[in-house]
A = this chain, B = another copy of it.
Amino acid sequence: MSNKLPQAVTSLVKPTDNELLAAFPGEVQGRLFPHLELCTLEMGKVLYEAGDAMRYVYFPTDCIIALVYEMEDGASAEISVVGLEGILGIAAFMGGESTSSRAIALHAGHCFRLPAQRLQHEFNNDSSARMILLRYTQSLIAQMGQTAVCNRHHTIDQQLCRWLLLSLDRLPGDKISMTQELIANMLGVRRESVTEAAGKLQHRGVIRYQRGRITVIDRPQLEELCCECYAVVKKESIRLNPNNSMQKKLGYVQNITTI
């Protein structure tokens, strides 16, 4: 698996690829952009450990970052993911300086890094930037809550579908580079269970995969096999972040009624 990205790509990544950065008012952008630092993330890179002070916040453009809770016995589970629609490091403006989750890059790609204090300053002084950040935070909360319920009630088959859709929304194209082992870690289940669920999907012609490379062939069917959790979260995310690009990837979800 190649985690390395061609150097040429780097120059094509713009701050405004991240939807929060893009949504900030012009003056805020003017003050922040000079301090942004482009970073390349390899898969598996840990950006924060649980309890770490957040010196930087990160704005993904084409990578995916997972927020993971790990327990004493090593068992873990992802509680939410962050991509181009969001920001990693909400504790920077929520006032807590740290969180009890670890942040880990699930999918290689790029992000912009900003000293936490700079964002905090804008958060405190620009009500419009504040609103954008808080609404995003609320959508993150919605995602976490739905994940909790999904963990409790839905089968691994359904959760895998949710997870694939979640990832797909945050990546260009229809390919996801991720091993079943990693997916299992994120869902908090056995690798073998993922193998089995993925096998079923491949058999049905929904996806195709080989050694850490998944291609989604039939997205509508994937949405149908998925539990409602995906649609609920997405709907709430779109409501709270009106410029969210995920609207373009709605697919069948458009037809799902409000809960």
- Name A residues whose Cβ lies closer than 8 Å to a Cβ of B: 50-51, 67, 69-72, 75-77, 79, 90-91, 93-96, 99-101, 124, 127, 131, 134-135, 137-142, 144-149, 151-153, 188, 228-229, 232, 236, 239-240, 258-259
Contacts and interface: CB of A to CB of B under 8 A. Distances in A.
Nearest to A72: B228
Contact of A100 (B50, B99, B135, B146): B146
B153 A188 contact: yes
B259 A135 contact: no
A77 B146 CA distance: 10
A147 B151 CA distance: 10
A147 B146 contact: no
A250 to B, nearest CB: 18
Stoichiometry, as copies per complex, reads 2
Given A145-B67, A149-B188, A135 B96 contact: yes
A153 B75 contact: yes
B96 A240 contact: yes
A224 to B, nearest CB: 14
Contacts of A153: 71, 75, 77, 188
Contacts of A79: 144-145, 148-149
A152 B149 contact: no
A92 B68 CA distance: 28
- A-B pairs with the 4 shortest C-beta distances? A148-B148, A94-B138, A69-B149, A152-B188
A118 B131 CA distance: 17
A188 to B, nearest CB: 4
Given A69-B145, A69-B148, A144-B148, 8 more contacts: A71-B153, A71-B229, A76-B149, A77-B153, A93-B134, A95-B240, A99-B141, A149-B188
